[in-house]
Amino acid sequence: MTSSIYNIAVTTIQGEDKQLNEYAGKVLLIVNVASYCGYTPQYGGLEKLNQKYRQAGLRILGFPCNDFGAQEPGSIEEIMLFCDRNYGVTFEMFDKVHAKGAQQHPLYAQLTSAVEPKGDVAWNFEKFLVNKQGKVVARFKSNISPESPELIAAIETELGK
């Protein structure tokens, strides 16, 4: 039995503290993102998911991360400009985090121990699906695109509950 992520605080891209319990009743897709990765075009698919399912209660939370191949070296301002210019990102973005290692953010400590396969995030654009009660219910590796039928089916299942 995994505990809820709602007791965890994060920092918004604007530098404000935010408790994840503010998302109670929403389905979350949490993604560690990077601007210079082979998977970076997934930003476009994530934004499409955001546009399609936001009204139904999906929230996509992007966490820039420089842990993998130093593929997110920029400042928060540079990251936001990149996302806006290249992908028109309107889903919520947060301050940079460490998804693994000694400085792993508490959110990622909980995400990576909540569902199988347990263990460190392997690369950029790994996705964690969180239900309306704040429980991690699924994990999708980087190569599972936002348009993937299995990801969309999991999102729709959680939205329907």
Question: What is the set of active-site residues?
Answer: 37
149 membership: H or E segment, kind and range: helix 149-160
Closest by Cα among 36, 22, 12, 31 to 134: 22
Q: How far, in Å, CA of 48 to CA of 99, rounded?
A: 24
For the record, the structure tokens of 146 come out as 């936002």
The three-state secondary structure class of 126 is coil
Cβ-count burial 13-25 (b if 16+ within 10 Å, e if not): beeeebebeebee
